[in-house]
Structure 1
Amino acid sequence: MRYGTPIATLVLVQSVILWRGKRLLQNNILFTPALPQAYYAHGNASEQCVAPQVDGLQYCEDAVFWDVHAHPEGPVTQRRVLVTCDAGRKAWNTVMGPMHDPAPKGSLWVIMGEGEAGWAGAVPVRLTLDGYPPEHDFHPLGLDISPSINGGASTLFVVNHARDRTCVEQFSVSPAAPTVATHVRTLDSPHFISANSLALTSPASFFVTNDHRFTRRLPFPLNHVLPIAESVLSLPLGWAAHVRVDEAHDKVEQAQGRLDGYHRIGRLESAAVAAHPIAAPNIPFPNGIALSPARDTVAISSTTSAEIWLYKVAGSSATETAFTGPGESPDSTASDQYTAFDSSSAAPLDKSLAFDNLIFEDRIPLPFLPDNIAYTDDGSLIVAGHPNFPNLAALAGGGTTPAGSWVVRVARRASNESATPVESASFAESATPVDSAGRVESAVPTDSDNAPVDANHYTPPHSRFIITTLYQSDGSHFQSSTTGLYDARTGGLIITGLYADPGVLLCAPLSR
């Protein structure tokens, strides 16, 4: 009898977890969507999408646009893409495993798509890491970079899953020498437990997600039990923090002659983290993170919930400005968006403090397990992810069967557009029946995105947002998509693949 209450409690908790995650269980674990070899929303994938064959460009994780502006109020005059890759990922992956050999270093790449052929004709170039300590591991994951203003250098932050700890590397990159990243420092903090993705709020501050509370760095056997349990049970133990860097710390260290050699790493640089407040707690596997162009909304992908979680920045009106659709513009000017990124000065501290406590606002269900996310110029959100988790896990474990790719655009509905009513903050899944293949059954018409596998057949309709597929593949064309970038100026689509070789897919429409 004395064991009855704990057992009953455990059964109840497991039942709630399984009920809450039944859509994910059906869509992404028990069943594999019948994805095509390749689908590209703007044309023929086999003709308009190219995976550049460059030595070392494999197993790529994150990508960001690197924009250049002639002046703070001006438009983008030049756009490049930075990418993180790690050819040794199958021997060193602190998220999925294994953790056998951390010695081979990962890499950063720059893609310049300003030529006549656009993004599809671009050739990625590996960055030289100038001044990077030779004894320091480099296994890059998430990254973000500040725009260049007036030709000034940009600040680049990169999450590094090194052998002893997870840290954040800071670099300086100039448009005049775009293939060289000068190492500034290694940010070391006990709070970087499982740092994954970054989103800058100024050249000296950024959001960072921590995807797990328990990691594979724990001693055996905990490292084989707790991280897996946290993922499988979709436990809300992850979080996003807002980190502020103390730039005055550099001046003190330089004056004392201590910013050289090994001393750029570890103890001294932990003092450079001025603040690390948790901005968004209690998220199941928070993976990607992005700040909207209007700087009023933060989007976080919850991988094991198969959802995007939206947060409002304190003092903003995110509900009215986030996720603009085609032909609309965020309610802010270029000056509003980029003044905080002026390379001559960091954002005012009081503005930075607004990012320390985010206000939960909404959830958007997805047909796959979302990885990284990125906003477009028009304010819509591009989400890439994994259609089937067992296939991805098998690939990470050394398997050869391809894992699928799926990239979607999430945009706010037009003011005169409606959908099947859904309680936007709750998604009461008990009221949304699904068939044996995991597709949503509905007595009324739902949205359609014209893809071979319609995203809207696997998710309950949302009253505010609509999902459109940009690319999908069963993995035979391009596998394990983690990031999607959409260039609204050219229509170009850039996709990275966690276990893809080559690790980047570049797509361009025939005409604009």
Structure 2
Amino acid sequence: MAPTRSIILIGLVALAGPWVYDKYTGFGQMFLKNTPAKLPSMNAFSSYKVLFQDTIRNCEDAVIDEDAGMALLSCDPGRDWWNTVMGTFISSHKEGEIWSYLYSQIDVEDEALLHPLGRHGFPADREFHPLGLEYEPASDTVFAVNHASSGSGIEIFKLSPTREHLLWERTFIHPKVHTPNSIAAINEHELFVTNDHYFLARNFKPFSKIETYLGLPLGEVLYVNLKTNEVRTLARLGFANGVKMLNKTTLAAASTSGPDVYIYSIDPETKSLTQKLKIRVPFAPDNISVDSNGKLLIAGHPYPPTMEVVSSTNHEYDLDNANDGRKPASERPRAAGWIKEWDGNPEGKTRDLYIGAEYGTTCTAVRDVKRKMGIITGLYEKGILVWKE
């Protein structure tokens, strides 16, 4: 029996070895190389500025309409108390909002260019904690992942003809869409959606953490048909996060605990996915975006421990100048951010656009190629960073 057990043990080690090595060279290396003392600070911008710090904060996602010179921002100051991904469940009463930013105007710093869109017709008994955001311009449809305390779902809105408010149409909830995070619209009724975890942090917090830090491939990329209610799993990856279509036949999906971005070819008929490429990045990728030149912008978090500290303590600091006895905002912990650009070539060439803690917890970067500018959002930051190239 002893030789048999030894053979089995050797076989298990041989099978697990490549997986362990991959986790060590990827997610594990972040803990060794990206400590705050070691992390460099740089940016590739001609200029940049953090705007609207007294108006918006905790903006998770952003999408732009380059033709209109408009950005939509998914912001939630209540994230300090309620974050179903990071596992913060103190209170869900302070809600979020989708904001419109008309950055194409001459004075991009003008506060008048930024306004909340509101949610006309939205159910009064359902909270709004927006996360992933998508805009389908052909139909003026806005999709928003909502992590309400009553259950996560996808809110479907129409942008009004004046682009001044949102008209709520319905909430899509499905048992297979149990941890929605990010959305990529094929059209107004077909979507790619990521489930970031198999274990919900609100129900199985320890298992959710284990799933994250071991990089278990239990997250999903889903095909969702809003007309037929069809939901299919297309791919599995660890902590499935941002998802975007590079073009009609190519999809990119971020694995936060990879840390990788997967590139898939899309079957035009079945929408099934075939992996073409895996891009490894030196940080935990969050949301991704594609500019009009086909370049992929990858935003993320270089050192998970500091991100964990910020997510668990941000509520202790008076970020809204409420003078309510909380600690001064100037004393709050910081977590750096990292933005990379992939040029779209199969060789997987990338370059750094931003690394630093001046504007941290970076989770989305979007670019307007025509106007040579871009926007970065921070999951636990005040305002947004606007850069010029």
TM-score (norm 1): 0.67
C-alpha separation in 1, matches of 2:110 and 2:264: 34
- Asked if 1 retains the 8 angstrom alpha-carbon contact of 2:126 and 2:150, the reply is no
Query: What is aligned with 1:506?
Result: 386
Partner of 1:433: none
2:210 partner amino acid: A
Q: What is the Cα deviation at residue 367 of structure 1?
A: 1.5
Kindly indicate which of the two structures has a greater share of residues assigned to strand.
2
Q: How many residue pairs were aligned? A: 368
Distance (Å, rounded) in 2 between the aligned partners of 1:26 and 1:482: 20
**Residue 90 of structure 2: SS of its match in structure 1?**
coil
Pair 1:245–1:26, CA change in 2 (3 A): closer
Q: Among the aligned pairs, what percent are the same residue? A: 29
Q: Which whole-Å CA distance do the structure 2 matches of 1:12 and 1:193 have between them?
A: 34
1:250-399 correspondence runs (5 A): 274-279=229-234, 281-292=235-246, 294-314=247-267, 353-355=269-271, 357-398=272-313
Note if contact 2:87-2:202 (Cα within 8 Å) is conserved in structure 1. no
Matches within 5 A, 1:23-172: 23-32=25-34, 34-37=38-41, 39-44=42-47, 48-55=48-55, 57-66=56-65, 76=67, 78-118=68-108, 123-148=113-138, 154-172=140-158
1:485 partner letter? V
Counterpart residue number, 2:369:
488
Per-residue CA distance 1:492-512 (angstroms, 9 max, x = gap): 11001011123x111123xxx
In structure 2, do the counterparts of structure 1 residues 237 and 225 end up closer, same or farther at CA, with 3 Å as the change threshold? Answer: same
Distance in 1, matches of 2:61 and 2:79, equals 13
**AA aligned opposite 1:204:** H
Partner SS state of residue 26, structure 2 = helix
The SS at the match of 1:235 is coil
- Over 3 Å counting, the alpha-carbon distance change for 1:11 and 1:500 in structure 2 is farther
Instruction: Please provide the CA RMSD for this pair.
Output: 2.4
DSSP-derived class of the 2:223 partner: strand
Shift of 1:49: 2.1
3-state SS of paired residue (1:465): coil
Cα pair distance change 1:245/1:25, threshold 3 Å: closer
Answering whether residue 212 of structure 2 is matched by residue 240 of structure 1, we say: no
Q: Does 1:466 align with 2:349?
A: yes
| Structure 1 residue corresponding to 2:206, chosen from 225, 242, 245 | 225
Give the secondary structure class of the aligned counterpart of 1:136.
coil
CA distance in structure 2 between the partners assigned to 1:102 and 1:291 by the alignment = 32
The residue number in structure 1 matching 2:323 is: none
Work out whether residues 17 and 234 of structure 1, in 8 Å CA contact, stay in contact via their aligned partners in 2. Answer: no
Rounded Cα–Cα distance in structure 2 between residues aligned with 1:411 and 1:94: 33
Cα distance in 2 for partners of 1:499, 1:131 equals: 29
| Aligned counterpart, 1:209 | 194
2:175 match: secondary structure? coil
For the 8 Å contact 1:285–1:302, the answer to whether it is kept is yes
SS class of match (1:230): helix
Q: Unaligned regions of 5+ residues in structure 1, if any?
A: 68-75, 247-272, 316-352, 414-462
The corresponding residue for 1:402 is: 334
Q: Which amino acid aligns with 1:287?
A: N
- Bigger radius of gyration among the two: 1
Please say if residues 225 and 231 of structure 2, whose CA atoms lie closer than 8 Å, have aligned partners that are also in contact: yes
Q: Which amino acid aligns with 2:60?
A: E
Which shows bigger deviation, 488-497 or 119-128? 119-128
Q: Which amino acid aligns with 1:66?
A: D
Superposition deviation, residue 42 in structure 1? 2.5
| Displacement after TM superposition at 1:126 (Å) | 1.3
Equivalent-residue separation in structure 1 for 2:118 and 2:133 (angstroms): 16
TM-score, L = length of structure 2 = 0.88
8 Å Cα contact 2:265/2:275 also seen in 1: yes
1:223-255 Cα shifts (integer Å, max 9, x gaps): 132111111111111111111122xxxxxxxxx
> 1:66, CA displacement in angstroms?
2.9
CA distance in 2, matches of 1:15, 1:228: 22
Deviations 1:323-380 (A, max 9, x none): xxxxxxxxxxxxxxxxxxxxxxxxxxxxxx442x111111011111100001110111
CA distance in 1, matches of 2:252, 2:382: 29
Q: Structure 2: which 5+ residue stretches go unaligned?
A: 315-331
Q: CA deviation at 1:8?
A: 7.8
Amino acid in structure 1 at the alignment position of 2:253: I
Contact 1:207 1:243 in 2 (8 A): yes
Indicate whether 1:411 and 2:326 are aligned: no
CA contact (8 A) 2:27 2:257 kept: no
Residues 204, 119 of structure 1: alpha-carbon distance in 2 compared, 3 angstrom cutoff: farther
Q: State how far apart, in whole Å, the 1-side matches of 2:108 and 2:57 are.
A: 21
Q: Does the 8 A contact of 1:113 with 1:122 survive in 2?
A: no
Cα distance, 1:164 vs. partner? 2.2
* DSSP-derived class of the 1:288 partner: strand
Checking the alignment, whether the CA contact within 8 Å between 1:49 and 1:120 is kept in structure 2 is no
State the alpha-carbon separation in 2 of the partners of residues 120 and 492 from structure 1. 16
Q: Which moved more, 1:124-133 or 1:21-30?
A: 21-30
After superposition, the C-alpha distances for 1:262-287 in whole angstroms (9 at most, x for unaligned) are xxxxxxxxxxx5211222x2211110
Q: Distance in 2 between matches of 1:192 and 1:198?
A: 11
Q: 1:464 to 1:120 in 2, by over 3 A?
A: farther
Q: Secondary structure at the match of 2:82?
A: coil
In 1: Cα distance, 2:89 partner to 2:17 partner = 33
Structure 2: how far apart are the matches of 1:489 and 1:29? 38
State how far apart, in whole Å, the 2-side matches of 1:232 and 1:14 are: 16
Give the C-alpha shift of residue 106 in structure 1: 1.1
